[in-house]
Structure 1
Amino acid sequence: LHVGSIAVVRAPGADDVARLVSRQTPDTTISYDVNVRPSAMGPRHISIARIDEMISRSDVVKLSDADLAWLRPGERHGDAIRWLMSRGPAIVVVTHGSAGATGYTRSGSVRVRGHRVDVAHTAGVGDAFMAGLLHAMSVRSLLARKTARRLRTIGLDDLHSILHHANLCAAQAITSAGIEPPHIDDLAVAS
């Protein structure tokens, strides 16, 4: 089950999303794209409480450097990551724009560099990254039923490959006109 952004924090839908997530069985993988949008989210303290609650219910959390700074203002990056991991996710992914992304697990972290591309637009690039992340996890059967243990013990080499795939999806999406993520065939040619 994937949730994200304004739907998690803004009423009345936020309550419905929270209920949906709370009703999932333990063998359901929950992924959450924080995607902070302050101007559309309502009061900060309510948004932070809802974001914190969703992070604590999620197995995979993705956010950008800017999202992390908004969520944990004034905190050093390492302290903010430790706080995120203490909330319970198996994997936290922080995107760094054109500089790539870093994935964190309890056993360590891995960073992938961004791809040099000609930028046509930036709308939807975070969604393309998230779709690529979930696709790569699905191909490795990390989102299937009863895989929570495998997700929590993922090796850093596997996480690196997953992040590389997600980054490739984002790079492909940013180069084409219109907001449409790449197709699998597009990725095979680009890798």
Structure 2
Amino acid sequence: MILCAGESLIDMVPEDGAFRPLAGGSVYNTAIALGRLGEDVAYLWPISRDPFGDVLLRPLSEAGVNTDLCPRTDRLTTLALVTLSGGEARYSFYDEGSAGRMLTPQDIPALPSSIMALFAGGISLVPDPCGAAIESLIARDGDRLPVMLDPNIRPFFIADPASYRARLSRLIARADIVKLSGDDLEWMYPDMAPADAARQVLAEGPRLVLQTGGAEGARAHWAGEMIQVPAIRTTVADTIGAGDTFNAAVLASLRRQGVLSKAGLASINGAQIVAALTLGAQAAAITVSRPGANPPWSHEMPG
């Protein structure tokens, strides 16, 4: 079972001059996508008892995501006001004192033996106490479980860039797989070309650094020659959830190929990486072809 630990929230998405509340959040979307792809997946994040908490739980249940590790709380659900510009999503967060943000390291439970890998990232890494809670989970269990990290950096959400850079550095050093967009790499290393920045991240410890670029496809930096897989051409509705879906499909492919383990990632080969990137591109293409974070079900995938 793959454990996704990180934020869930309500995206207030523009629709016909108003806003429609939709379940979302970077790590939450990845958990949903893994479940829809037929993977055995669990989710860890506080869920509010407010009405939006029920909105969040419903898609998790429908996708078969295990929520036994999700504490319930009377604190309110985080809201993200979404605006679209040229199909690109921009966010304003309402998060002070929210259910997720107040997660503490002491709230992190012991993991069941069925957990085989960890996925973390998104805005849940930024503020405390929740950022410290996710970091403590990775510090505690990352030596025995493979860790995939996607910071999904939102600069306007980061009040203390120096502190966040320090946390990212610690997390990257513990991660086995790191996925970074061009925007992420530009924020982390503004004076470096994206490919050079990705190789710099690789030098910090991960086995794989995945560099995504929307229509430009995805690249993998690893011990061998750089690998590139093109994006799947499609009509783009918007990009909400595309990277999250890519993450899920990469994890699903690695699990199916039997390399989603410390030993497996240490001996991974180019063909296995190509297969993972290809499934990621196929799944992301379906998500961007329809509005909102709506990742594909297994029966919608090619082949």
User: Taking structure 1 as the reference length, what is the TM-score of the superposition?
Assistant: 0.92
Equivalent position to 1:152, from 261, 266, 271: 266
Cα displacement (A) at 1:9: 2.0
Cα displacement (A) at 1:120: 1.5
CA RMSD of aligned residues (A): 1.4
1:171 aligns to 2:288 (yes or no): no
Identity of aligned residues (%): 29
Change (3 A) 1:25 1:48: closer
Equivalent position to 1:162, from 276, 286, 303: 276
Q: Is the 8 A contact 1:92 1:103 kept in 2?
A: yes
CA distance in 1, matches of 2:194, 2:157: 25
Opposite residue 77 of structure 1, the aligned amino acid is P
CA distance in 2, matches of 1:10, 1:108: 36
Cα displacement (A) at 1:25: 5.4
> Alignment partner of 1:115: what SS?
coil
What's the counterpart of residue 244 of structure 2? 127
CA distance in 1, matches of 2:195, 2:229: 17
Cα displacement (A) at 1:78: 4.2
Size of the aligned set, in residue pairs, is 186
> Alignment partner of 2:226: what SS?
strand
Cα displacement (A) at 1:60: 0.6
Change (3 A) 1:89 1:25: closer
Is 73-82 or 124-133 further displaced after alignment? 73-82
What's the counterpart of residue 192 of structure 2? 75
> Alignment partner of 2:141: what SS?
coil
CA distance in 2, matches of 1:42, 1:31: 24
Which structure features the higher share of helix residues?
A: 1
Is 73-82 or 85-94 further displaced after alignment? 73-82
Equivalent position to 1:32, from 149, 154, 163: 149
Unaligned runs of 5+ in 2: 1-117
Alignment deviations for residues 123-155 of structure 1 (CA, whole Å, 9 cap, x no partner)? 111111111111111111222xxx313212211
1:110 aligns to 2:227 (yes or no): yes
Q: Is the 8 A contact 2:241 2:292 kept in 1?
A: no
Q: Is the 8 A contact 2:217 2:281 kept in 1?
A: yes
Cα displacement (A) at 1:58: 0.4
What's the counterpart of residue 63 of structure 1? 180
User: Taking structure 2 as the reference length, what is the TM-score of the superposition?
Assistant: 0.59
Change (3 A) 1:182 1:71: same
* Higher alpha-carbon Rg: 2
Q: Is the 8 A contact 2:126 2:164 kept in 1?
A: yes
What's the counterpart of residue 132 of structure 2? 15
What's the counterpart of residue 44 of structure 1? 161
What's the counterpart of residue 3 of structure 1? 120
Cα displacement (A) at 1:34: 1.6
Unaligned runs of 5+ in 1: none
CA distance in 1, matches of 2:189, 2:249: 26
